[in-house]
Amino acid sequence: MRFAVLVFPGTWSDRDWHHVLTNVLGEQADLVWHRERDLSAYDAIVLPGGFSYGDYLRCGAIARFSPVMEAVRREAARGKLVIGSCNGFQVLCEAGLLPGVLTRNVSTQFRCQDVYLRVETARTPFTSACEVGDVLRMPIAHGEGNYYADAETLARLNAEDRVVLRYCTPSGEVTPEANPNGALESIAGIVDEGRNVFGLMPHPERCSEALLGGTDGLFILRSMLSYGRTGIQA
């Protein structure tokens, strides 16, 4: 597969994504500046973490207007895989590609720590290598990861099996104590209606090598590769 790793002013997880995709998984990946208007040559698109435009207005609120986002919308509508982690999730929500919004952590603190995530659905190109109920461990690093959506949107996400990950304990129990940012219903990741656009606050690219302390992020990435090569969820 060929990946486009988008780079906005203030992005800082782009190199992590590029390293894992190319050096760990052996795939093709290009760093694509936010002024690019054509992503048709790519099979999948990554919106990495960071502080796009310094998050000076609101996380992701300025990046949504970058020229590349029209190309992201176009390729997403064609069914290509789009994944946004951390700030990438925020940008996808601000751009209307995913519902809801990411707000300030209830603690008002920046949280940089490992969290546990319960897989709520395997019916996505991003979690097909998992089983429902699996618990993954990944790092977070954000100050605005508190997912919010109105009651109608939350009901629709649940009814359509679009909540992908929830914060949980190591044993898989969803509790307030296991929620690092106050996200409604402990939501850590969701997909769009087409199930090909995925946003999550944790960083799978930072737990894809044993040297860094864990490889659970590979469940996400290998699911994408399986789908990209066959069009069938693993």
Spot the catalytic one: 59, 86, 93, 130.
Answer: 86
Residues 203, 86 contacting (CB under 8 angstroms): yes
Note if 34 is an active site residue: no
Sort 232 into a burial class: Cβ within 10 Å, 0-12 / 13-18 / 19+. exposed
Note if 112 is an active site residue: no
Using DSSP's 3-state secondary structure scheme, residue 167 falls into strand
Could you write out the DSSP letters of every residue in 90-140?
Answer: HHHHHTTSSSSEEE--TT-S-EEEEEEEEE----STTTTTS-TT-EEEEEE
Spot the catalytic one: 18, 27, 205, 207.
Answer: 205
Residues 155, 99 contacting (CB under 8 angstroms): no
Residues 89, 102 contacting (CB under 8 angstroms): yes
CA triple 194-196-200, angle to 5 deg: 115
Residues 200, 119 contacting (CB under 8 angstroms): no
Spot the catalytic one: 18, 120, 168, 203.
Answer: 203
**Residue 18 Cα distances to 13, 29, 114, 138, 202, angstroms:** 9, 6, 21, 18, 17
Note if 203 is an active site residue: yes
Residue numbers annotated as active site: 86, 203, 205
